[in-house]
Amino acid sequence: MSMEHEWKAPNLHNVAFLRSAVKESDFPTDSLPQIVFAGKSNVGKSSVINKLLNRRNFARVSAQPGKTIHINYFDIDKRMYLVDLPGYGYARVSKAEQQRWGTLMETYFALDLLTLGIQIVDIRHKPTWDDVTMAEWFRASGKPWVIIANKLDKIKKSQLEENLAVIRQTLLLPEEVPVIPFSAEKGYGRDQVLALIFDHMRKDDLG
Ligand code: GDP
């Protein structure tokens, strides 16, 4: 008998903030899958997380971009961790803060806790050097990773293919990394991203 049909998706209403991690001992090391969200400040990372969870104000929509150099852990139905990496690439951030960001990334990625990486970029623009760096962290992790191209509602349909191609080329994405057009505002792409997350959780659960 296949276990496939017994697998239940997590209850996305059963969500709680767990903690902010700043050092190695803060990271949960149990076997729950860790779905990691990364993106440039202001790309809409909080909005995307809120849309996926159907919450209005769960991941705080940033009032002060770049001010948070810690990793937020959310517990999703005791089934997975949603890991919110600090936004990067905020123009007014100091050298010292950039270094703290890099050190925190090194700490997290060295622990090898990641199950699935979700990198959010702006569908309107060529990814920045910081986006390329973040993509390199995910690529080097050897774990599955996907790109959410957010703010789809802000481009014309005729621009879609070209913009997706620019994102793919600039981030040097391996073929297996999907780029999912998304709008946190309108909800486009939500079902596709959730299906992807659940698929990775299911694989993880089945060992
Ligand atoms: P964060 O800094 O990456 O967490 O970004 P926020 O979630 O705070 O979003 C930054 C700004 O972009 C806010 O004004 C959001 O309302 C807006 N925003 C986020 N996602 C979308 C989207 O899909 N479409 C549009 N039009 N605006 C968005």
Mean pLDDT of the chain: 91
- Compute, in angstroms, the gap from residue 184 CA to the centroid of ligand 1: 7
**Helix axis angle, 190-205 to 45-53, nearest 10°:** 70
Please answer whether residues 45 and 37 qualify as being in contact, where contact means their C-beta atoms are separated by less than 8 angstroms.
Answer: yes
- Comparing 56 with 116, the larger pLDDT belongs to 116
Q: Which of 37, 42, 47, 57 to mutate to test the pocket of ligand 1 (most atoms within 8 A of CB)?
A: 47
- Most informative mutation of 46, 57, 61, 188 for ligand 1 (most atoms within 8 A of CB): 61
**Cα distance between residue 113 and residue 101, in whole Å:** 18
Residue 100 Cα to ligand 1 midpoint, Å, equals 25
| Binding-site residues, ligand 1, Cβ < 6 A | 39, 41-47, 61-62, 65, 87, 150-151, 153-154, 183-185
Note whether 43 and 122 are within 8 A (CB).
Answer: yes
Lowest mean pLDDT among 17-21, 123-127, 203-207: 203-207
Element (H, E) at 15: strand 15-21
Q: How far apart are CA 176 and CA 28, in angstroms?
A: 28
Give the DSSP letter of residue 40.
B
User: pLDDT tens, 56-99?
Assistant: 777 665 445 545 588 999 999 999 999 999 999 876 678 888 88
Atom of ligand 1 nearest to the CA of 49: 7
- Per-residue pLDDT of 157-170, as tens digits, reads 999 999 999 999 99
Give residues with Cβ within 8 angstroms of 52, minimum separation 6.
12, 190, 193, 194, 197
- 93-118 mean pLDDT: 92
Q: What is the pLDDT of residues 130-158, one digit of tens each?
A: 999 999 999 999 999 999 999 999 999 99
User: Does the reported pTM lie above 0.85?
Assistant: yes
Closest Cα to atom 6 of ligand 1: 44
Instruction: Please name the residue whose Cα sits nearest to atom 2 of ligand 1.
Output: 42
